[in-house]
Each structure stands twice: as structure tokens, then as C-alpha cells.
Amino acid sequence: ELKVEQNPLFLSMQEGKNYTIYCNYSTTSDRLYWYRQDPGKSLESLFVLLSNGAVKQEGRLMASLDTKARLSTLHITAAVHDLSATYFCAVDRRSGGSNYKLTFGKGTLLTVNP
Amino acid sequence: EAGVTQFPSHSVIEKGQTVTLRCDPISGHDNLYWYRRVMGKEIKFLLHFVKESKQDESGMPNNRFLAERTGGTYSTLKVQPAELEDSGVYFCASSQDTRPNTEAFFGQGTRLTVV
């Protein structure tokens, strides 16, 4: 059974600081997603990482994927209050035929304090 | 273009009652997924429709849950009778194709509270 573990689950940080969220998964998969969720809102796709060594950046967020280590990281640079949200990583897995389904981590609740 | 929409956004019901959740996918998306997040736990897959056909319902917790997608457009998820452990946020997602083409887009979720 595919397991996805995120850490930390809770992260309180000051504005201007850097931090990294980690996402480990247990079996082979070559497609990893990072989502952001604001309270009461939908999951917003941040990054889709398709291959080993993939690195993507958007603003103050940068995501990377190491498929050999089964590890993805989401790095936050110089955090600002607007980044406060819950961040999920998810790995997709074939569920039969050509169908795939997502397996999520528990999410990281990020709070950025002034 | 409208995104994935879910109704209602919140529902509070008593144990033993019935609740029906609705999901309207993005127009033209054949694939529709239901997921659920129980408090403090992971978001877990419930089932997957391709048009009106159930492709994978391996995540459905038990036979109190019934999902339908008549006509291949919107979908409903009925819980009958509801139990306390059914409380959580139910997410719907849709995609135009399964891999490798597109990712799934999520709705805002329905927060279900069973008291």
C-alpha cells in the first residue's frame, strides 16, 4: 500500500525566514503534486513534478523531486503572511488499467507570523 | 470557465439521517473523483467515475455510501444512514483525461458534520 508522509504537520514561522516541507512516499511513482488549500477553499495545484531531479519554482516556493530517494521538498524562501495555508503533497498511482488515483499526505499547516 | 463546484458547502445532520452531496465537474471533464478528509487524517480516495461508469470504487468505506453520476455530468454522493465517523470534508475533483495528459481540479469541498 502506498503511503505518503509529510513533515512537519504544523509549521509556524516568522516572515522573512526560510523553511522546507518534506514529503516521503513508500513505493515507486513518478508523478508528484503539491497543493495549497486556504480555509474553505478548493485545493489549488501548485506544482506537478514529473521526473527525477525535477525542480519548479513559483514566487517564494520551490519544489523538487528525487524519485530514487522517494522524496519531494517544498522550500519556502523569505516567507510572507500570504503563504499561510495548508500544503499537501500527493502521489498518483495506477488503480487499474489506465486509471490513476491520488494518495495524499496529511498536510502541513503553515502559519507565517509578522 | 467555472471550476468544480460542490453543494452544499456545509451540512450538519444527526446520526441516522441521510445526506446527499453534489458535485458539478468542469464542463467536458469525463473523469470525476470523490475524496474525503477526516479530521486530522489524510485526504483519501473514495471513487472514480469515467463518464457515468464507476471505474474504481475501492475507497468507498461501506455500503452506506452510494455514488451516482447519471448522464455523465454531475455526481451525487449519498450517505444513508450517516454515522458519527462519516464527519469530514468531502472533495470532488475532475479531469479531462487520466494520465498522462492533465491533472485533476478540485472543488472547495463539503464539510459534513454528523452529530
d(CA A6, CA A34): 11
Q: How many helices (H) and strands (E) does chain A have?
A: 0, 11
Bridge partners of A92, per DSSP, are A102
C-alpha dist (Å) from residue A24 to A54, A60, B114:
15, 22, 33
Kindly report the CA angle at B16 between B15 and B22, in degrees rounded to 5? Answer: 90
The pLDDT assigned to B83 comes to 97
A42 touches chain B (CB under 8 A): yes
Map residue A104 onto helix, strand or coil: strand
Q: In this structure, what C-alpha cell is assigned to residue A42?
A: 478548493
Which residue, B17, B29, B38, B31, is CA-closest to B109? Answer: B38
Q: Where does the pLDDT of residue B99 fall: very low under 50, low under 70, confident under 90, or very high at 90 and above?
A: low
Query: Counting Cβ atoms within 10 Å, is residue B18 exposed (0-12), middle (13-18) or buried (19+)?
Result: exposed
Q: How many A-B residue pairs are in contact by the CB < 8 A criterion?
A: 65
pLDDT tens, N- to C-terminus, chain A (114 residues): 889 999 999 999 999 999 999 999 998 776 899 999 998 899 999 999 988 888 999 999 999 999 999 999 999 999 999 999 999 999 987 766 667 788 999 999 999 998
Alpha carbon distance A83, A44 (integer Å): 13
User: Is residue B51's pLDDT more than 80?
Assistant: yes
pLDDT for A3 equals: 92
Across the interface, whether the CB atoms of A33 and B103 are under 8 A apart is answered: yes
For residues B82 and A20, what is the distance between their CA atoms, to the nearest angstrom?
39
B101 pLDDT more than 70: no
Taking the CA of residue B95 and the nearest CA in chain A, the distance in Å comes to 11
Nearest CA in chain A to B6: A42
Classified as helix, coil or strand, B72 is helix
- How near does any CA of chain B get to the CA of A41, in Å? 5
Q: Which residue has the higher pLDDT, B92 or A39?
A: B92
Lowest-confidence segment of A1-5, A33-37, B17-21, B87-91 by average pLDDT: A1-5
Q: Which of A59, A101, A94 is nearest to B60 (CA)?
A: A101
Q: Among B24, B113, B108, which Cα is nearest to A35's?
A: B108
B98-104 average pLDDT score: 64
Q: How many DSSP H helices and E strands does chain B contain?
A: 0, 11
Specify the pLDDT at position B61: 93
Cβ-based contacts of B44 with chain A (< 8 Å): 104
Q: Which residues pair with A25 in a beta bridge?
A: A4
- Asked if B33 reaches chain A (Cβ–Cβ under 8 Å), the answer is yes
Position A28 scores a pLDDT of 79
Q: What are phi and psi of A102, to 5 degrees?
A: -90, 140
Contact of A31 with B101, CB cutoff 8 Å: no
Q: Within 10 Å of residue B1's Cβ, how many Cβ atoms?
A: 5
Q: Does the pLDDT of residue B102 top 70, yes or no?
A: no
